[in-house]
Structure formats: C-alpha cells, structure tokens
Amino acid sequence: MIEPHHECCAHHGHHHELVIENLTVSYRRVLALENVSLATSCGNRVALIGPNGAGKSTLLKAIAGLVPRSSGTILWRGTAVKKWSREFAYLPQREEVDWSFPITVRGLVEMGRYPQTGWWRKFSADDTAAVDRALESLALTDLQDRQIRELSGGQQQRTFLARALAQEAHVLLLDEPFTGLDRNASQLLGDLLAKLAHEGRLVIASHHDLNTVPLLFDEALVLATRPVAFGPVTEILTPELIDRTFREPATRP
C-alpha cells in the first residue's frame, strides 16, 4: 500500500523533522498560545490534548499559516516556514465545512492539486493520476461522483484526507477528526491515520477523548495555552498530569 512516488522517511534512512520553537499567538489582546515548542518527525501521529480553549485549534492553524504568529519559528526539514507550506495540509472540523456546496468527491480532491497546477494550468496526466491514487488509497473511487453531503461522516473525513494526499502533503493537520464519528468509522479512520503515518507522513490532530489517545497516537502534546507536557503517549499520560491539566481553573480570585 506504500505509494511509489512518496519520498519520505519510511523508505529513507533520515527523518524529516518538524521543529516548533517558542511559538506564541495572540488574538487581539488575548493570548491563545504561549511559548509552545516541540520537535517531532514524520512517521509519527501526534495528539494535541487539553481542555477547551487550551489552544489546540490555534496551534494547528498557526502551523498551517492561518493565524499570524506573534513570535516563534516553525522549521520543516530544516527550513523555516514563513507563512504556509505546500507540504502542509489543513483539515477543518467537520462542522466548519459547507457540505451542501455543489461539488463532488472528485472535485474536492482535485482542489488538492491546485497548489501544483497553479491558478491556470490545465490538469496534466500526472495530476489526474495523483487524484486517482488519492481516491484509490482512501477507498473513495466508487464514491467519486457523489455530492459531498451524501457521504457519511467518516467518508467526508476521508475525502479531505484524499485532498491532502492529492496535494502530496507530508504534514497532515487535523482539527478534531474523530468528533461525531461512530465506533466503526472511528476505527477505520484510526487505521487510516496509522497507515498514512507508516507511509512516512506526520499526522498532527487535536483530540478530546483521552481514553482513545493511546490507541490512536504515538505522541501527545498536552496544552493549556502553555505546553504542559510533550512526549510518547505512554510516558506522559499520567493520571496526575491529566488531573492537573483538565482541572477547572479557579473562576474567582
């Protein structure tokens, strides 16, 4: 199932590293993220966990270049990412997407090729092949002519993953991908993310269900505006830490 064109660490000796240093983001005057640092490499699945408002979505958006950073740097494969990178793909929360938009599954996946084709160039045989491969690898070939609202939640999630694959993205940034999926669909998506990581991609996802973190992810970053802990899930998900992070903050002074 490994794609022939994908040149990443699964078939090379070296690792592609994502290094975030002292990332700080403020919305207007409110601090949303403060001094977040982490280093990971492709092949991993990283969970972002923390209470509501901890900055999980903000971190994903900051990596994708959707919100301006107040300070800090993001290095991908040793090069600073100024604003956005073609190798990063952002997958929005399902409720943020207008599913009644008149577009088919294939049309949505084709949008992933636009960074390659630019604004005008026609689709080449390569582009078409990339779209076919992406659909194939996420088992969407039979559904490619469906309007996107006619899909189940898991299929919708897969369509956006296919768009990211068509873009040949190496870093997948997913905002709450498991929210609203039933058990089967969750399991299927979990297997897919494992496969994508195994093929050499870096998967970073915000996640709110602590029980499933060890099953679905390799590493976790616990956030509460500031980073609380980062490391392999088995090491950092200790009861004390979870208790400390998710404890309701005192509302009265």
Partner 1 sequence: MEIDLLTNPFYQRALATAGFIGFANGFFSGFVVLRRNALSVSALSHTMLPGIALGIFLTGALSQWNAFLGAMFAALLVGLGSVAVARGNRVEQGTALAVLYTAAFAAGIALLPKLDTRQELEHWLFGDIIAVGNADMWIAFAIGTFTLLITNLLMRPILLTLFEPNVAAAQGVPVKTMQYLVFTLLVLALVSSLQAVGCVLSVGLLVTPAATVSLLTDRTSALFWGGGLIGGVGSIAAVLLSGKFGIAPGPAIVIVLGLLFIAAYLFSPKYGLLAPKHR
Q: Which of 102, 239, 249, 253 binds partner 1 (CB under 8 A)?
A: 102
The answer to the question of residue 167 lying near partner 1 (CB under 8 A) is yes
In the complex with partner 1, which residue's Cβ is closer, 66 or 228? 66
Nearest-angstrom CA–CA distance, 67 and 10: 31
- Which bin fits 177, alpha (ψ -120 to 50), beta or left (φ > 0)? alpha
Pick from 10, 12, 3, 18: which is nearest to 219 by CA? 18
- Shortest reach from residue 25's CB to partner 1, in Å: 15
Strand ranges across the sheet with 219-224? 88-91, 171-174, 202-206, 45-49, 219-224, 226-232
CB 43 within 8 A of CB 197: yes
The answer to the question of residue 61 lying near partner 1 (CB under 8 A) is yes
Q: Which of 92, 154, 200, 227 binds partner 1 (CB under 8 A)?
A: 92
The answer to the question of residue 20 lying near partner 1 (CB under 8 A) is no
The answer to the question of residue 179 lying near partner 1 (CB under 8 A) is no
In the complex with partner 1, which residue's Cβ is closer, 81 or 223? 81
- Shortest reach from residue 234's CB to partner 1, in Å: 31
Q: Calculate the CA dihedral of residues 59, 2, 86, 177 and round it to 10 degrees.
A: -30
Q: How many residues does the chain have?
A: 253
In the complex with partner 1, which residue's Cβ is closer, 25 or 236? 25
- Contact pattern from residue 107 through residue 146 relative to partner 1, giving x for each residue in contact according to CB under 8 A and a dash for the rest: xx--x--xx-x-xx--------------------------
CB 46 within 8 A of CB 205: yes
Q: Which of 9, 56, 88, 193 binds partner 1 (CB under 8 A)?
A: 88
In the complex with partner 1, which residue's Cβ is closer, 92 or 227? 92
Nearest-angstrom CA–CA distance, 100 and 150: 9
- Shortest reach from residue 252's CB to partner 1, in Å: 27
Provide CB contacts within 8 A for 179, sequence distance 6+: 93, 94, 208
> Considering CB under 8 A, how many residues would be counted as binding partner 1?
32
Q: Which residue has the tokens 């290094």?
A: 19
The answer to the question of residue 104 lying near partner 1 (CB under 8 A) is yes
Nearest-angstrom CA–CA distance, 141 and 44: 27
- Contact pattern from residue 145 through residue 164 relative to partner 1, giving x for each residue in contact according to CB under 8 A and a dash for the rest: --x------------x--x-
CB 87 within 8 A of CB 164: no
The answer to the question of residue 188 lying near partner 1 (CB under 8 A) is no
Which residue ranges make up the site for partner 1 (CB under 8 A)?
61, 64-66, 83-84, 86, 88-92, 96-98, 101-104, 107-108, 111, 114-115, 117, 119-120, 147, 160, 163, 167, 173
